[in-house]
Chains A and B, each alone.
Chain A
């Protein structure tokens, strides 16, 4: 089984709808991240969390919110989706304890806002 899972894998929604993307991990890592990927722009950080009580904005947090329900779960919400939020979204995790900056990525959620 995959260590970092994302649901759904694909989603089409309409402008103005609220949508939640979910991420779960079995790696036992304390840190979790949400990125969006747009063609030609690479990955940009939306939010990150160091533990359940610690949430931080990334480079492009406007229009997004997150919830860290447990150490293993980190959800990304679009309160009112707009077409320019159409993108590929990745969740990632990392482990403070091993001193590594390596991040482990989920398979991604492709979101289309019409």
Chain B
């Protein structure tokens, strides 16, 4: 079964600093990859997704992620963090062609932003 690891439980950055959130997956082939954000008291919103093609994916709110097959990673980045980015971020994978369309989520990384 596929699994997702987000090694960092909590990250604190200063506003304006760059950000990288790590995500590693375990799966025999290339899965479909997603990053979701959960703002306090809200549901999850999709930031970006990777199915195939260009390994650098652009998303909403200025986020991007890079798929690295050799490292089984799909790290999320943002060049300059805004205070409104404080939230919890979840990486998720789906197994292509499984028919179930199930997502497996990582345990999340909470981002705090210092003004």
Chain A residues within CB distance 8 Å of chain B = 4, 31, 40-45, 48, 56, 58, 90, 92, 94, 96, 101-108
- Would you mind naming 12 contact pairs between A and B with Cβ atoms under 8 Å apart? A40-B9, A42-B90, A42-B108, A43-B90, A45-B102, A56-B100, A90-B43, A101-B101, A102-B34, A105-B36, A105-B45, A108-B42
Q: How far is the CA of A29 from the CA of B34 in the complex (A)?
A: 19
Structural contact, A102 and B100, CB atoms closer than 8 A: no
The interface size of chain B toward A, counting residues with CB under 8 Å, comes to 20
**B42 CB contacts on chain A under 8 angstroms:** 107-108
Contact between chains at B101 and A90 (CB < 8 Å)? no
Say yes or no: B32 contacts A105, CB within 8 Å: no
**Which A residues are in CB contact (< 8 Å) with B94?**
101
User: Given A106-B43, A107-B43, do A42 and B101 touch, yes or no (CB 8 Å)?
Assistant: no
**Is B19 located at the chain interface by the 8 A CB criterion?**
no
Q: A40-B9, A48-B102 are in contact. List 12 more A-B contacts (CB 8 A).
A: A4-B43, A40-B107, A42-B108, A43-B44, A43-B90, A92-B44, A101-B32, A101-B103, A102-B49, A105-B36, A105-B45, A108-B42
